[in-house]
Structure 1
């Protein structure tokens, strides 16, 4: 253990008792994984990601947390079996809905913060990917058994492998002139929203640039206040939507209603019993209404970006393949067409 860092962290927490570990890590010039590693009650686990994820259903009712710099997604429920194809995995049920990308996953810790117990997954650069918190309804005996089974005995294994795992350098290709006509033609020919990323890659177009050169009528820049107005309408009308928040290693999805909306300083929050969202609106650089063709008709989304062009959060109307977009969702989006 890094005793000096452990001492610094304890001193920092004493002076800043309400600080989140992610923010403390930035202030101390280290990564979140390094601070977790010096926690006296924390246990490092073997990085058997697929096997361990398929033990999580034993825990019963838990809270899943996935975040990026400016948005947090918290969803309570019960995990079901994770299915993997190479390093890409899915956990899919009405409560816990995840897309997992194991390329950057590196370490796992069982964490105890006061009375809170969790299993936390970290990337090669020490940033948190996904966290699973026990609730009062969880199986604590199963939690103890998982820790005993997966505890890492070789504690000398490095916690950080790369300091820039999430930094994408602009390539020469990204600076090349885009064939806008060809790009728009491919956009209009889309048959599935899941093909959108492949289209961007084909044309070497960043997502925010794509919004700017989309076919007429298929993207529109909107203000943060307009975004919030739509979400308030969603809440008031009881419309089922989908909320996607993620990072390089995990995307977490909520499908359902958003009922209790609360503004707390710069944070725009959803504070429902099963789903919480925290969106840091003062770091939103761009928000777009986006329309993509599919075999089921147009699918509309609200997409929110930070100053670096990274996606913070996406909102869709709740739907499944083979089912057209809900008219209720389309109806509230007409607020943005004026």
Structure 2
């Protein structure tokens, strides 16, 4: 077992020397492994395994000062810098980090493995806290940015290090895809419930009530959803940058949703990708993965909430855009006009 683990270390270091620009997530696939298994193979040296008190770990993030937090799925990477303000982990279903910079919805049931990663040039590691699901896929990565908080990082690692630094992982197969009743759901009944929504947080319970997939719900939503061109994301970002709109950008996976609220300024398109490259917010969106784009309306007590939602070929959401808003405050008029015009 130890030989196999050392071999994985060697494979990763060798691969990285030959392919320095390939990210570890993609490299793991080439090496017939996972990102979490590669990190685990270094446990006890360049990497320390953490215990599974993930709520407790998140409560300590304010100690680390200015951070970069990264959340991604297969098609989109969301990187936000800032300080962690309010942390709430008492709800058994979802933990919250709320603040003007870092805004997260954390689903701890999907969090399985945690690592503290140390700076190491040969391995290509940067100091960070990294969390993975039971399949070895990254849920969230947290990179300290303040050198004067080094002692706080070291203390956090000491407090949450696992007693055993095993260099192998026991992964689990992904849960089977949920079974939906898309073929039999009644459009009129769904539309009636949709019309009576009072809050955006009521949307998921409505889908669950009808046992309908999100994408199919959009297709039978009538006036509440319209498919639009997949080029809409470029138009949206460029218009937001040109007019200094404050928008909300949601990117997530099954373990975490990360939200940017504010303006976007530097929009950079390269072959196959569109990017936001601002000092405190980066977004990297793989354009070829966008299978469908939708303009969506949800009634609420604060007025109709409009969003743009992008989906991949499997019907999974890639990224979601809103105009800046808070509970009790209507969304910005310019955003309403933009989405309505589609």
Task: Classify the TM-score, shorter chain.
Answer: over 0.9
SS of the residue corresponding to residue 12 of structure 2 reads: helix
Deviations 1:227-285 (A, max 9, x none): 21122111100011100001000000000001110012211100111111111111111
Indicate conservation of the 8 Å contact 2:232/2:293, yes or no.
Answer: no
Measured after TM superposition, the shift of residue 30 of structure 1 is: 1.3
Aligned residues: 332
Is 1:17 aligned with 2:24?
no
Q: 2:40 aligns with which of 33, 37, 40?
A: 37
Alpha-carbon distance in structure 1 between the residues aligned to 2:87 and 2:244:
30
Is 1:276 aligned with 2:296?
no
Indicate conservation of the 8 Å contact 2:51/2:162, yes or no.
Answer: yes
TM-score normalized by the length of structure 2: 0.93
Q: Provide the alpha-carbon RMSD of the alignment.
A: 1.6
TM-score normalized by the length of structure 1: 0.94
Structure 1 alignment gaps of length 5 or more: none
Measured after TM superposition, the shift of residue 81 of structure 1 is: 4.1
**Correspondence list, 1:148-159, <5 A:** 148-156=158-166, 159=169
Is 1:239 aligned with 2:245?
yes
Deviations 1:150-206 (A, max 9, x none): 2212124863341214xx4252x5354111110110111111111111111111111
Indicate conservation of the 8 Å contact 1:230/1:333, yes or no.
Answer: no
Deviations 1:282-301 (A, max 9, x none): 11111100011111111000
What is residue 149 of structure 2 aligned with on the other side? 139
Indicate conservation of the 8 Å contact 1:296/1:324, yes or no.
Answer: yes
Question: Structure 1 residues 187, 334: CA separation in 2 closer, same or farther (over 3 Å shift)?
Answer: closer
Structure 2 alignment gaps of length 5 or more: none
Indicate conservation of the 8 Å contact 1:50/1:82, yes or no.
Answer: no
**Correspondence list, 1:11-160, <5 A:** 11-39=14-42, 40-84=45-89, 85-114=91-120, 116-136=126-146, 139-156=149-166, 159-160=169-170
Measured after TM superposition, the shift of residue 137 of structure 1 is: 5.1
SS of the residue corresponding to residue 132 of structure 2 reads: strand
Indicate conservation of the 8 Å contact 1:66/1:74, yes or no.
Answer: yes
Indicate conservation of the 8 Å contact 1:233/1:332, yes or no.
Answer: no
SS of the residue corresponding to residue 130 of structure 2 reads: strand
SS of the residue corresponding to residue 97 of structure 2 reads: strand
Indicate conservation of the 8 Å contact 2:65/2:146, yes or no.
Answer: no
Structure with the largest fraction of strand? 1
Alpha-carbon distance in structure 1 between the residues aligned to 2:148 and 2:209:
45
Indicate conservation of the 8 Å contact 1:61/1:138, yes or no.
Answer: no
SS of the residue corresponding to residue 224 of structure 1 reads: coil
